[in-house]
Amino acid sequence: MAAPLGESALDQLFRDARTCQWFDGREVTDEQIEAIWDLLRMAPTSMNQLPLRVVWCKSPEAKERLAAHAMEGNKDKVRQAPVCAILAYDTQFHEFMPQLFPVSDAKPLFDGPGKAAFRQTSAFRNATLQGGYFIMAARALGLDCGPMSGFDNAGVDGEFFADAPSWKSNFICSVGYGDRSRVHERLPRPAFPQFNRLI
C-alpha cells in the first residue's frame, strides 16, 4: 500500500455515493453480479470464515417472492430493482473451514452445540463485514446500492432457505444504476469528536 486513491475514486466510493432505492432501468448483468462477488470475497474475515451467503433475486418471479416478505414500503423497491440480493450468514460456516483455513484444524473451535452462540456471533459479525464489502465493491464497479432491513427475516428464511436451514437472512440490498432524481437529501454526518476518541 502507498498512495491514497484519487479524489474522484473517494467520491465514487464514499462522498458522492448515495443509497438508491429507485433505478434508471438499466440491467445489471450476470457478469457484473459475479464481479461484485469476485471483489468482496478477497476482503478479510476472521480466520477466513467467509460466512456470507447471497441469493441474487433477478427474475421477476424471484423478486416477487422476496417482495412478499418485505415491509409494505419496501415491496415496490424490491420489485423494480434490477437485482435485489438477500445477504445471509451461514451458522454452520465452520463446516467449510478445512477448505477455507487449511493452515490449521480450526473447525473444532466452532463445533458442537456448546459453540452455537459463539458461531452465531461470529457468523453475524463476519458476514455483516462482508455486507460492507459488498456495498463498497458494487460502488467500485460503478453501481448503486439500496440496503434494507425492513422485511420479515423468518419469512424470507422459510421462503428461500428451506434446503439450507443454517442460512439466516441479515439484510437485503438492491443493486443497479440509481435514479438520482429520487435520492433523499443527505442525512447529517457527525464530525470526528462526537463518536471517536483518540488516546
Q: How far apart are CA 117 and CA 121, in angstroms?
A: 6
Select from 52, 17, 3, 1 the least CA-distant residue to 140.
17
Beta bridge partners of 89: 52, 168
Closest CB to a copy of itself among residues 13, 111:
13
**How near is the Cβ of 134 to a copy of itself at its closest, in Å?**
8
Closest CB to a copy of itself among residues 80, 109:
109
- Only one residue has cell 463518536, namely 195
**How near is the Cβ of 112 to a copy of itself at its closest, in Å?**
19
Q: How far apart are CA 150 and CA 176, in angstroms?
A: 19
Closest CB to a copy of itself among residues 39, 68:
39
Length of the chain: 199
**How near is the Cβ of 114 to a copy of itself at its closest, in Å?**
19
SS3 per-residue string spanning 105-128 = CCHHHHCCHHHHHHHHHHHHHHHH
Closest CB to a copy of itself among residues 9, 154:
9
Instruction: Return the SS3 of 51.
Output: coil
**How near is the Cβ of 30 to a copy of itself at its closest, in Å?**
6
